[in-house]
Amino acid sequence: MKKYFGLVALVLISFIMQSTVLQFLQIFGVTINLVLVVLVVISLQTNEVTGAGLGFILGFLTDILYSQFFGVNSLLFFCIGYLAGRISEDVYKFDYFTNLYFVLFGTLFYHIFFYFIHYFLKIGSEAILITLTPILIEVVLNLIILYPIFRLEKSIFKKLKIN
């Protein structure tokens, strides 16, 4: 139980940091997606149920506080958490590069499906070319921030006795 409280606390802290302090650290007008990186790393080290649960919490908060339509972020973060947790059983999840590929595909997955959902809702459907550069910048920033997060999470996981 302590383990799950610890993981939820980690995700909530990253959400608060993402919505406040990190908003002042924009690079070319793009903010690092800390919550996505944290979610992918935790889901990889745990399992699909934990990943999906934490993803849903993150998405739910984002939808409630910022979104126009409820469910878009809940759905995407839920899927990312579930898939990362599910696939982690078939890969060597302790390797840094495995985490790197997952963050890369996780970020792309989020943006591609975010675009498609809004396309079907007829919002900003013409915008994919405009947002391509910010998405690529975000991918690079997420990969850069992965290293410290990966190291930090390893030591936190040791304390929480996960793995």
| Number of Cβ within a 10 Å radius of residue 159 | 8
Q: Using the rule CB under 8 A, is 19 a contact of another protein? A: yes
In angstroms, the CA 34 to CA 31 distance is 9
Backbone phi, psi, residue 129, to 5°? -70, -35
Q: Using the rule CB under 8 A, is 104 a contact of another protein? A: no
Residue range at the interface with another protein (CB under 8 A); choices 3-11, 65-73, 93-101, 143-151: 65-73
Least distance from another protein to the Cβ atom of residue 10, Å: 15
> Could you tell me which residues come within 8 angstroms of residue 109 by beta carbon, excluding any fewer than 6 positions away?
76, 79, 80, 83
* Sign, Cα dihedral of 1, 47, 75, 65: positive
Q: Using the rule CB under 8 A, is 20 a contact of another protein? A: yes
Q: Which of 4, 5, 16, 152 binds another protein (CB under 8 A)?
A: 16
**Closer CB to another protein, 135 or 154, in the complex:** 135
For residues 10 and 159, the answer to whether their CB atoms sit within 8 Å is no
**Closer CB to another protein, 10 or 79, in the complex:** 79
Footprint of another protein on 38-57 (CB under 8 A): 48-49, 52, 56
For residues 45 and 92, the answer to whether their CB atoms sit within 8 Å is no
Residues that bind another protein in the complex, under the rule CB under 8 A: 15-24, 26, 29-31, 33, 35, 48-49, 52, 56, 61-66, 68-75, 78-79, 82, 114, 117-118, 121, 123-124, 127, 130-131, 134-135, 138
